[in-house]
Structure 1
Amino acid sequence: MRGRTIRQFLIDGIADGRWTCELSNWTGKAYKIPRTYLNICEDRLDLTNTGVYFLFGTNDETDRQQVYIGEAENILMRMKQHVAGKDFWTECVIFISKDNNLNKAHIKYLENHLYHMAKASNRYEVLNSVVPTESSISEMDRAEMDEFIDNMQLMLSVLGHKVLEPSVSKSAKQHDRIFHLQDKAKGRLTSEGFAVLKGSKIAQTVTSSLSQSVINKRDQLFKDKIVNDKGEFTQDWLFSSPSLAAKIIVGYSLNGRDAWKDAKGSSINDIEARENPDLGKIQFKEDG
């Protein structure tokens, strides 16, 4: 796979301000804008172009990330409407064409496909109340818009939002080793944490020693139908660490890096120690 060049520019000179993001040899352009900065965006003339956008926030009760996906023929005007009409979001990411060649049919096509990708990934709670209508465009335009979507997917990830990425990537060969937790579950390491595989089972009860935050995450899996009434994972699901995955599955506290074992009975810690034999020899010296 070839490397790609992405250029990012901090419009206000600070990381917490407005960003632009461009990909080499692509006519698209992304803006990442905090909600509190929209009132000073009149200086960005291309924000009146036609485009698509994502509003990002967090559910206060479940701590789950949320997204609303939309399109507009004047992006800045629509963003200002959302400041008045939608409370949940704190940041938006906007995609336009630098040569302003996106028309209404294009952005309706993009909006529909982006919505379905976000729903399928199930990383974010998608807040659109209706499914966006897919417009009918030519075969040539579809190919162009599908490439546009591929680039948007990459740009969003770079900007910190993997809303369009599959919840568990299956492409990384180095993460193909399967680990087992007792006779309950299977999983594998990923670049983002640890993925429990579809069909794994979760204990129906928990011990009093399990923290409330883990219990809440566990309950949410049932509410979101990630785990069905029989206690089975209905899809591959990503956790931030092997230990969190293990605690949720067995219902009590334990070290996941020791508990998850491969077919040969080696734990994650065993494998890392074996693959990095010099780690135990490294001594860290404090400054001063």
Structure 2
Amino acid sequence: MDGDGSQRYQVMLDNWNIKSYKIPVGLVADSNSLDNIHTAGVYFLFGYDEGQKSVYVGEAEDVYRRLTQHIPEKDGYIWDNAVVFIASDIGVLDKARVKYLENRFYNIIKDANSYKLLNRNEPTKAKLSRPAEDSMEAVIDNIRLIIPVLGYTPFENRISENKFSIENEEIFYIKNKELQAKCRFNLDKYLLKLDKPFTLLKGSRISNKINSSLSKKLKQQRQECTDSNVIKDGIL
């Protein structure tokens, strides 16, 4: 939408009267004039919390206004990108429908257990007529297709490490003067494309030097791990 992969996206499906925007937190203020952004919708706030992928699921009658109310000092967490779903036609989504979607997505993500849910409580599920409920379930199916295209996988089930055979795990050691990293490479995860196949293991020594080339997001994750004592005295 902005001609840059790190900027805003708009996603639409053929013959579907709901559109999606992916909006970086730094561009929320510039998104006031996006089509239908001031209407009812459901949204997801993606980021990292204590080194873990995180997501907040919300709904609003004015999505833009609600996004501007999400600030770290008030919420207690930081997010990087919002993915919002709003109707391109009047009357397709209303308060009851978006509350239904919010509750359903909360429970889908909770059951998948692959992202940390930042919602403090389970959202109230609105009661809909059977036709309206069927319509919203179709919306859910489409949203589950779109979210991964935008780079997020909160609906994919986390597979416990003990389900992978030890024969398919290789341990690697990376050393230099400042660090000593112990990494596990899991072939099963690599072949099944289940997230990153490399895992940095407990006991690894982290370099005290932070290179200027390190991305802002990685610097933030490192600081969160240090603040929460996941990294203590340079040791993971």
Q: Same fold (TM over 0.5)?
A: yes
Q: Which amino acid aligns with 1:42?
A: N
Determine the structure 2 residue equivalent to 1:261. none
1:145-184 → structure 2 map (5 Å cutoff): 145-167=136-158
**Using a 3 Å threshold, how does the CA distance of structure 1 residues 239 and 152 change in structure 2: closer, same or farther?**
closer
SS at match of 1:123: coil
C-alpha distance 140-78 of structure 1, shift in aligned 2 (>3 A): same
Partner of residue 65 from structure 2, selected from 39, 53, 77: 77
The runs of 4+ residues in structure 1 deviating greater than 2 Å are 83-87, 165-168, 195-198, 209-215, 238-241
Q: Distance in 2 between matches of 1:166 and 1:27?
A: 29
Match of 1:67 in 2: 55
Q: Establish whether residue 104 from structure 1 lines up as the match of residue 95 from structure 2.
A: yes
Q: Would you say 1:240 and 2:162 are equivalent positions? A: no
**Pick from 39, 57, 80: which aligns with 2:29?**
39
Single out whichever of 39-48 and 79-88 deviates more from structure 2.
Answer: 79-88
The C-alpha deviation readout for 1:220-262, integer Å capped at 9, x for no partner, is: xxxxxxxxxxxxxxxxxx5633xx48x97xx9xxxxxxxxxxx
Q: What corresponds to 1:121 in structure 2?
A: 112
In the alignment, the residues of structure 1 paired with residue 162 and residue 54 of structure 2 have an alpha-carbon distance, to the nearest angstrom, of 24
3-state DSSP of counterpart to 1:31: strand
Letter in 2 for 1:143: D
Query: When the two structures are superposed, what TM-score results if normalisation uses the length of structure 1?
Result: 0.57
Where does 1:139-218 land on structure 2 (aligned, <5 Å)? 139-167=130-158, 196=161, 198=163, 214=183
Q: Secondary structure at the match of 1:48?
A: coil
Secondary structure in 2 matching 1:49: coil
Q: Deviations over 1:180-221 (max 9, x none)?
A: xxxxxxxxxxxxxxx8564x688xxxx9x6965659xxxxxx
Q: Is the 8 A contact 1:27 1:99 kept in 2?
A: yes
Pick closer, same or farther for the CA change 1:166–1:91 going to 2, 3 Å.
same
Distance 1:121 1:38, change over 3 A: same
Aligned length in residues: 185
Shift in CA distance, 154/13, structure 1 to aligned 2, threshold 3 Å = same
Instruction: Check 1:150–1:83 CA distance in 2 against 1; reply closer, same or farther (3 A cut).
Output: same
What is the CA–CA distance in structure 1 between the aligned matches of 2:182 and 2:124, rounded to whole Å?
39
State the 1:111 CA deviation. 0.4
| CA-atom RMSD in angstroms | 3.2
Counterpart position of 2:5: 15
TM-superposed CA distance for 1:25, in Å, is: 1.4
Q: Matched residue of 1:89: which SS?
A: coil
Stretches of structure 2 that go unaligned for 5 or more consecutive residues are 175-179, 185-193, 204-236
Task: Give the direction of change, closer, same or farther, for the CA distance of 1:78–1:117 in structure 2 (3 Å limit).
Answer: same
Once residues 195 and 6 of structure 2 are traced to their aligned partners in structure 1, the CA distance between those partners, rounded to angstroms, is 27
- 2-structure distance, mates of 1:128, 1:165: 19
Q: Distance in 1 between matches of 2:67 and 2:150?
A: 19
Higher Rg of the two aligned structures: 1
> How has the CA–CA distance of structure 1 residues 146 and 129 changed in structure 2, closer, same or farther, with 3 Å as cutoff?
same
Cα separation, 2, equivalents of 1:113 and 1:213: 39
User: What's the offset of the Cα at 1:90?
Assistant: 1.2
SS in 1 for 2:71: helix
Matched residue, 1:174: none
Distance of 2:182 and 2:18 partners within structure 1? 41
